[in-house]
Structure 1
Amino acid sequence: MFSPYYFKGRRRGQDDPHDYCSMNVCLYGEERRWTMTERRAGAVSQDAAALKIGPSSIHWNADQSLTIQLDEIGTPIPQRVRGKIHLTPTFVNERSFTLDSQGRHRWRPIAPSARVEVELERPKIRWTGHAYFDRNWGDEPLEDAFVYWDWSRAGMGEESAILYNVDRRNDQPLSLALHFGADGTISEFEPPPNHRLPRTPIWRVARGSQADPGRPPRVVKTLEDTPFYSRSVISSQLLGRPVEAVHESLSLDRFRSGWVQHLLPYRMPRR
């Protein structure tokens, strides 16, 4: 959905999404790597349980776990990312949420809580930990419906909380505050007050997050700092409990601007 080639293709009437697919991998820390090579429809195959994009694939197993096989080359520095990721949901959530009043954009937190096993050959990395898995899909470009959004997911032991704050282009803002119990029960709570976070250090992307009154969140670490998108780790308090969350902010006005579209191919080669 952030493909510069798809952005141009839609305006030329060449808008088959199968012709603009990629497997995005982000590694942080000492072995920091990024892959997002876009491939045409001939390199893509799909059925009810699996999706293959070039040499990489993702598929559901019979036990409702998910296996991702990776074989990609990083950009802009060509370093290989090869190996396997295995994700086991604590439970599978079947409920979807509509993000716009027209019902054109949907979001489903498939596994709000999960365990992950990462076994990479290149680079040589192996670890296990907490995980999260969701999907977004829609019937029009994101930038047509939204100006900005921020999102965060916080682990609370076997529970989790998700905040979604959306600035809609032609409608009132939307805020979702969801708590997921260990047994998969969902409870919506009153969205807490919004707090501004510092803009990203390099590209100055705006960031904000909701937190309990009088307990503003703080940025622990900025993981991704791009011209239109950021990913961070934040420390916050929700429902009276201290939490650490993965946080994302997205500026669709930045994304649709000509200078950003010009920069994106440097991080997203196309084959």
Structure 2
Amino acid sequence: MIGFIGSVFSPWYGWSGRATPSNHCCINVVTSGLNGRFTMTDRGTAALRQSRDSLTVGPSQMHWTGRELVIEINEWGALPMVAPVRGRIVLTPAAITAAEVALTPDGHHLWRPFAPIADIEVDLGPGTRWSGHGYFDANSGTRPLEQDFRFWTWGRFPLRDRTVCFYDAIRRDGSTLALGVQIDKSGQVHEIAPPPLTPMRRSLWALRRESRADAGFTPRQTLSLLDAPFYARALVETRIDGETSLGMHEALDLTRFRQPVLKPMLAVRVPRRRGWAFPD
């Protein structure tokens, strides 16, 4: 799940000229499987409340207790699975990092890996209850992603005694980002030399994908989690320093996202709800 202030993939935010991020906020939740659901309701300023430790968007909220991030979900799935998505997610970090990374030399885009190692408990109703590895990060920016990037891939892979994250991007000016970091359970972050960037099988929408892996090993998708014309999220198996890992991977083609035809397609899955009144 993702909390957006300035919902970067919302067509309504794009059509608005992106002048007021707070007027296009949402809680995005995606579940997989036969009854998988997708929520990305674009809400106006009236639906947004913020404090030092909480973010509320309409009927959903996330709150930091000092030890856990507690997320209360109360949304509706978009077409074709129009059904309630309700429940609770609790993420407990092993530690909070102090790392912040500029994704462009001018610092207009930042990545903040708050808790790359965490435990998570998910209860979104029957069929969507589980616990396991969790991860918590944030991205922020002062310009549209597609203005500065053509393509990127990102991956987070848990290993026996640490987690590694890889960020690879092609910027619109032709320069590249090739970032590898490892994080231990105490929250210490160290930059590492990433293993080779290796092509993967394309997504169902023929989206280019690649990930980091030991020489001679080809990363492979084990489960598709989200497949769109410009974006793919999946569980991917790779091998790092001789250790096989199953982790989260995403590929984002911002050249495709720039195409005007995509915004009307997205509007079907991203409804706009301007009004909201919180209970007194």
TM-score (norm 1): 0.94
What is the aligned partner in structure 2 of residue 34 from structure 1?
A: 38
Please, which of 8, 17, 24 is the counterpart of residue 15 of structure 2?
A: 8
Unaligned runs of 5+ in 1: none
Q: CA RMSD in A?
A: 1.3
Question: Aligned to 2:134, what secondary structure does the other structure show?
Answer: strand
Unaligned runs of 5+ in 2: 1-7, 274-280
Cα distance in 1 between the residues matched to 2:22 and 2:127: 32
What is the aligned partner in structure 2 of residue 157 from structure 1?
A: 160
Contact 1:101–1:171 (CA under 8 A) maintained in structure 2: no
Runs (4+) of structure 1 exceeding 4 A deviation are none
1:136 aligns with 2:143: no
What is the aligned partner in structure 2 of residue 191 from structure 1?
A: 194
Deviation of the 1:118 alpha carbon? 1.3
**What amino acid sits opposite 1:36 in the alignment?**
M
Please, which of 228, 231, 251 is the counterpart of residue 229 of structure 1?
A: 231
Please, which of 264, 267, 270 is the counterpart of residue 265 of structure 1?
A: 267
What is the aligned partner in structure 1 of residue 211 from structure 2?
A: 209
Question: Aligned to 1:48, what secondary structure does the other structure show?
Answer: coil
Deviation of the 1:158 alpha carbon? 4.7
- 1:10-48 deviation line (CA, Å, top 9, x unaligned): 1xxx61101001110011124311111110001111111
Greater relative contact order (Cα < 8 A, sep 6+): 2
Cα distance in 2 between the residues matched to 1:116 and 1:181: 17
Cα distance in 2 between the residues matched to 1:28 and 1:247: 15
Cα distance in 2 between the residues matched to 1:118 and 1:194: 32
Deviation of the 1:74 alpha carbon? 0.2
1:109 aligns with 2:113: yes
What is the aligned partner in structure 1 of residue 122 from structure 2?
A: 118
Deviation of the 1:187 alpha carbon? 2.0
Cα distance in 1 between the residues matched to 2:224 and 2:66: 37
Deviation of the 1:120 alpha carbon? 2.4
**What amino acid sits opposite 2:233 in the alignment?**
R
What is the aligned partner in structure 1 of residue 242 from structure 2?
A: 240
Question: Aligned to 1:245, what secondary structure does the other structure show?
Answer: strand
Deviation of the 1:69 alpha carbon? 0.5
Q: How does 1:164-175 map to 2 (within 5 A)?
A: 164-175=167-178
Cα distance in 1 between the residues matched to 2:193 and 2:98: 22
1:148 aligns with 2:151: yes
Which deviates more, 94-103 or 214-223?
Answer: 214-223
Question: Aligned to 1:23, what secondary structure does the other structure show?
Answer: strand
Deviation of the 1:240 alpha carbon? 2.2
Counting matched residue pairs gives 265
**What amino acid sits opposite 1:58 in the alignment?**
M
1:158/1:114 CA distance change after superposition, 3 Å: farther
TM-score (norm 2): 0.91
Deviation of the 1:141 alpha carbon? 0.5
What is the aligned partner in structure 1 of residue 71 from structure 2?
A: 68
Which deviates more, 238-247 or 226-235?
Answer: 238-247
Contact 1:73–1:80 (CA under 8 A) maintained in structure 2: yes
Deviation of the 1:179 alpha carbon? 1.0
Question: Aligned to 1:143, what secondary structure does the other structure show?
Answer: helix
- 1:160-208 deviation line (CA, Å, top 9, x unaligned): 110110111114101111111122222221122111111112x111111
Question: Aligned to 1:24, what secondary structure does the other structure show?
Answer: strand
1:214/1:124 CA distance change after superposition, 3 Å: closer
Contact 1:116–1:131 (CA under 8 A) maintained in structure 2: yes
Cα distance in 2 between the residues matched to 1:165 and 1:218: 17
**What amino acid sits opposite 2:184 in the alignment?**
G
